[in-house]
Structure 1
Amino acid sequence: MLIITAEKMKKLLPMKEAIEAVKEAYKMVSEGKCYVPLRTNISAERHGGQILFMPGYVDGIGFAGVKIVSVYPENAKKGLPSVPATMVLIDGTTGIVKAVMDGTYLTRLRTGAASGAATELLAKKDAKKAILFGTGGQAREQLWALLSVRKLEEVYVCSRDFEKAKEFAGRMSREFEDYGAKITAVEKADGVLSEVDIITTATTSRTPVFDGSLVKKGVHINAIGSFTPEMQELPEEVVLKADRVFVDSREACLAEAGDLIVPMKKGLMGEEKITGEIGEVLLGKIRGRTSEDEITIFKSVGIAVQDIVTAAKIYEKAVEQGLGSNLEI
């Protein structure tokens, strides 16, 4: 059994390869080549946290796994990750655990890759400006993914804490300078929303994080932060006026995605608002963007098959390159 740290994982799988892995995962979901029950979500209400168990078996690659991921927003005040996680990768043919790896980084990588895949498929080819809401644990990989699939000139960063947004923008400007994009912190998003071609929300907010009336035609939106029926990053207005809405898993989003469930419960829209799964676009079963003026949304709650396929790629490369630490039990 291999133990693979986050630092080793960063060396093993760059974002572009992670995006390709997630595309394969989405195709297998839509083809029914995996068994992925809905995650088990246990509330640790006294500590303001939630603990999620995400199991799955991916017949298409012969691996199974379970990711244990917790969401504890108050951890940031303690200098701890707000979304700590551990991934256990299992050989689907023998049931033997093959690797244990840093699930926190895996979550960031595959979630960024999910937005990257959706942006590559749905955003306008000539997209030049984007805005990222949130500067927490997910933010770096979300930014990396956007820069990997579009030649962006400017990315705005918006957070509840403007000082944190400025620090993040400065750090990312140095880290990703080779991509050539200007990364700028904004205290309020209203002044730039009408300019951007891509919006990505990566927060734990329970209320919408931007004004839906300000978005322009042709914008693509990645909504990846909310993962419970009560969490809602997207304003209902923008969901209602979206031309095409894609999800990672129809079943999972109808059970967990507050961005869709809240307006449905209010009777503002029905399930037919969902155009289809992103895997169906990749398989050519449905079309993605069909015009330059369409507003497209990708809503993701995250599914275990993303973790398993990405973890399997990391494990296989670790074996090839002799990275990771062996553990016998």
Structure 2
Amino acid sequence: MSPTASDRPGPGPTPPAPAAPAYLDAATLARLIDAPRAVDVLARALAAGEVDPEDDTPRLFAPARAGAEFLMMPSAGRSTAGVKVLTLTPGNPRAGHPTVQGLYILFDADTMAPVALVEAAELTLIRTSATTVMAARHLLAAKRHPAGEAPERPTTDLPTATARRVVVFGTGPQARRHISCLTAVLAPEDIAVAGRRPEAVEAVAAQARADGAPARPARGDVAAEVAAADLVICVTSSPTPLFDGAAVADDAVVCAVGVHGPGKRELPADLILRSDLVVEGRASAMRESGNLLAARTAQQWAEDPRPLANLADLAAGRFTPRPGCPAVFSGVGMAWEDLVLVTHAHHQYRRSRPAP
């Protein structure tokens, strides 16, 4: 006997509609994760082994109109996954628009449901400066101790360091944000700002002073400023080296994060070859770091008996600098950095919301 309509199983309960993703605009994101916290969150995630830069997904580029390009940066973690979708439009500043624009989409790792949308230009400013300053803090702390004399410390303890004299190359939004971040974390006594256009240099230095940073335009011979610096930070779009590598002191730290792509570099080959090196991830550096690839081929780097250290090595205390050598951090930007910071910010956002 055939079952009647009433005997047939129904479709089951209707699943609840997913909650609308939260939207974190630039002001909300900046409130949820300030510069010192962003630096610490990245360092703790690396030191605890929560992320491995070598497991990160390569980012994807595609051409857009009028010389612009799309950039997509996916990454997956233990509890969340995410993708940043950006447009990079080099000609925008001349028309009064930002170069970098886009959104970050955060997903729950179990259901892959979107849980947050985040303004990506502010996120990029936060994560790039935080990554640079985190690397600088660890390198400066490591260089205080000769090889083999680094103090034992739990990996969850974060180092402390200061940079007395700093030179920042660049006058764009990233230069401004790096000055703010390093001032909050490294407490420098003097920051010299260097750039191609004196009026832009003065504007950046003046704004930084208004915000409490000890900033000024670089004086006269930039090589002399570099020679006197404990820390040099490069955040430019220059396709060619910014200074003579011989000017860098043997005990200095240099961080170059302004460009990506094998055909662009901010640092000269002689500086790369005489320095202790740290990269965000070895694989990403061999794809995109012109600073390294102009000095040696990827095959030559792979054959070097001193393997490149990555940020996980640095944060976990597995990097020991050699006496008498500068230390260089060369970064190109990686997706895991965005995921770590957005996950933290979203957690803070949920904690701050009133219970329903």
How does the TM-score come out when normalised to structure 1? 0.88
1:2 aligned residue: 22
The CA deviation at 1:42 is 1.4
* Structure (1 or 2) with the larger CA radius of gyration: 2
What CA distance in whole angstroms lies between the structure 2 residues aligned with 1:207 and 1:58?
36
Give the secondary-structure state (helix, strand or coil) at the position aligned to 1:246. Answer: strand
| Aligned with residue 213 of structure 1, among 236, 246, 249 | 246
Q: Secondary structure of the equivalent of 2:223? A: coil
Q: CA deviation at 1:35?
A: 4.9
1:122 aligns with 2:139: yes
Aligned counterpart for 2:188 among listed residues 152, 156, 167: 152
Distance 1:184 1:160, change over 3 A: closer
Does the C-alpha gap of structure 1 residues 30 and 226 become closer, same or farther in structure 2, counting only changes over 3 Å? farther
Q: Residue type of the partner of 2:251?
A: G
Match status 1:257 vs 2:289? yes
1:139-178 equivalence runs, <5 A: 139-177=175-213
String of CA shifts for 1:60-94, please: whole Å, max 9, x gaps.
xx110000123222111011111223111111111
Distance 2:215 2:52 in 1: 41
Change (3 A) 1:223 1:28: farther
Instruction: Say yes or no: does 1:95 pair with 2:131.
Output: no
Q: CA deviation at 1:281?
A: 2.1
Instruction: Map 1:1-329 to 2 at 5 A.
Output: 1-27=21-47, 32=52, 35-44=55-64, 47-59=66-78, 62-123=79-140, 124=143, 125=161, 127-177=163-213, 181-186=214-219, 189-242=222-275, 244-265=276-297, 270-271=301-302, 272=304, 274-284=307-317, 286-291=318-323, 293-322=324-353
Distance apart, 1:163 and its partner CA: 0.4
Taking every aligned residue pair, what percent have the same amino acid on both sides?
A: 24
Unaligned runs of 5+ in 1: 324-329
Q: Deviations over 1:221-277 (max 9, x none)?
A: 1111121111111111111111x100111111111111111221399x533365311
The answer (yes or no) to whether the contact 1:219–1:295 under 8 Å persists in 2 is: yes
Secondary structure of residue in 2 paired with 1:190: helix
Between 13-22 and 188-197, the greater mean CA deviation after superposition: 188-197
Q: Would you say the 8 A contact 2:274–2:325 is kept in 1? A: no
SS of the residue 1:218 aligns to: coil
Shift of 1:9: 1.2
Q: 1:33 to 1:151 in 2, by over 3 A?
A: closer
Query: How far is 1:195 from its partner?
Result: 0.7
Deviates more, 1:249-258 or 1:207-216: 207-216
Q: Hey, what's the Cα distance between the residues in 1 that align with 2:32 and 2:52?
A: 28
Equivalent residue pairs, number: 313
**144-153 or 258-267, which deviates more:** 258-267
Which is richer in strand? 1
Instruction: Note the C-alpha offset of 1:190.
Output: 2.2
1:31 Cα offset (Å): 5.8
So what's the TM-score if we normalise by structure 2?
A: 0.82
Partner residue, 1:326: none
Distance 1:274 1:105 in 2: 34
Q: Which moved more, 1:209-218 or 1:107-116?
A: 209-218
Counterpart amino acid of residue 264 in structure 2 = M
Q: Which runs of 5+ in 2 are unaligned?
A: 1-20, 144-160
